Structure 1
Amino acid sequence: MARVSQEHLDARRRQILDGAARCFARNGFHATSMQDVFAEVGLSAGAVYRYFNGKEALVGAIAQEAFAGIRSAFEEASRATPPPTPDVLLGGVLRLFLEERIPGADRQAFARLIIQVWTETLRDEGLAATLAEGYHGMRALWAELVEAYRRNGLMRADVDADHVARTLIATAQGYIAQQALFGDVSADMLVDGLNGLMSMDVQSRS
């Protein structure tokens, strides 16, 4: 029997994850059955279960993959000289993971999927641990970027790095919530709004 290549295994896993994400985004987590996933990806139950043992495993894998991709983008940004400003960086990350992430799924549907993942953490300890790990990782990455901003003279030395991290994460979470609820926002709007706020000259008022 011919040996299955790693490229084939990776491609099959990608096919399953993308199909499951489309199903969850379109119909909701609880309304989607594994049979729906099988039909979406055009594979048998055995083929899918070879990679994932159920919906919870699929959602966990989607969340872990998203955090890994975001981490990579942030780590690359922190190595740039000068590093991209928060508006440019946050806008780029949101475009990549909310507007271009899943072929065939619109960004409002994917934002709704993220909201569903957040709510699932209230009952799924494993998923809650994944989300907490990602959240703390984002805080650490933003703190590293604040240090990079300081080194390049882009931010004052007395600014609390973790406060900046929490504020920018909250901005991203707010964008996701608006997209899920109303569907009338874009990453470009976020970039423009952050750029406008960053342009305020608060020192001139003193």
Structure 2
Amino acid sequence: MLNPVGLPAPERAPSERQTRILDAAELVFARAGFHAATMQDVAAEAGMSPGNLYRYFANKDAIIAGMAERDRSQIAADFADLGPARGSVLDQLEALGRKHLVEEPREKAVICLQIWAEAARNPEMARMCAAIDGTVVGGLAVAIAGAKASGELPANLDDARFLQAIFMMADGFFCRRATDPSFDPAMMAETLFTAMRGLAQVLLLPEAEASSS
């Protein structure tokens, strides 16, 4: 397997009750926004009393941290599951992208935008975003290195620019899905992944850099 060496290991999975709360919070935050939503709203969505909710999460910030860590742990597990025995690395990355960009409900994209907006002014939120980004970058870097070693990707692929391009396209995808009710994620994913495959062949290092690397 293409084990992402150095990536933070997934933390202990949330309990069934915590998972129920996190799922409810995603719906509430997507519907009302972080600031307008209350712990009482989350408790009602989760079908429990506010007092019981506070046994698991002390406040909204703790819920948001739980949501972020759950996403980071899932991403880390997904990348750890990649491997050459499973076929083309680009095919695996596309399947992974479809899982997180297309198959997840639109609420996930709405929540993502809210987290990014909060991260612009909240250092703790920014730290959580950086942890998720670091997990994605680490997993992609290991997968790309394996694909270059196998000959699937050009040996002189400019990894840094390729990763930047993937991030910008994925971020734009999330923004459009969250803000445009007519956005068709399945159709737009075809464009995104076609572009990813094309960029993998043209974002190459200059000859001088390639020969010295």
Instruction: Name the TM-score, length of structure 1 as normaliser.
Output: 0.79
| Runs ≥4 residues deviating over 6 A | none
1:93 corresponds to 2:96: yes
Contact 2:25 2:42 in 1 (8 A): yes
Instruction: Name the TM-score, length of structure 2 as normaliser.
Output: 0.77
Q: Which moved more, 1:171-180 or 1:69-78?
A: 69-78
The one-letter code sitting in structure 2 at the alignment partner of 1:194 is F
- Within 1, Cα distance between the matches of 2:156 and 2:169? 22
1:144 corresponds to 2:142: yes
Percent of residue pairs bearing the same amino acid type = 28
| C-alpha displacement of 1:17 | 0.6
| C-alpha displacement of 1:49 | 1.1
What is the count of residue pairs matched by the alignment?
187
User: Aligned in 2, Cα 1:19/1:175: closer, same or farther, shift over 3 Å?
Assistant: same
**Residue in structure 1 matched with residue 193 of structure 2 by the alignment:** 194
The one-letter code sitting in structure 1 at the alignment partner of 2:42 is V
- Within 1, Cα distance between the matches of 2:144 and 2:108? 29
Contact 1:23 1:37 in 2 (8 A): yes
The correspondence for 1:63, drawn from 40, 47, 68, is 68
Contact 2:21 2:46 in 1 (8 A): yes
Superposed CA offset, 1:12-58 (max 9, x none): 11111101111011111111111111111111122111111111111
Correspondences of 1:174-193 after superposition (within 5 Å): 174-183=172-181, 184-193=183-192
- Within 2, Cα distance between the matches of 1:198 and 1:130? 29
Structure 2: 5+ residue stretches without partners: 1-13, 203-213
CA RMSD after TM alignment: 2.4
| C-alpha displacement of 1:140 | 1.7
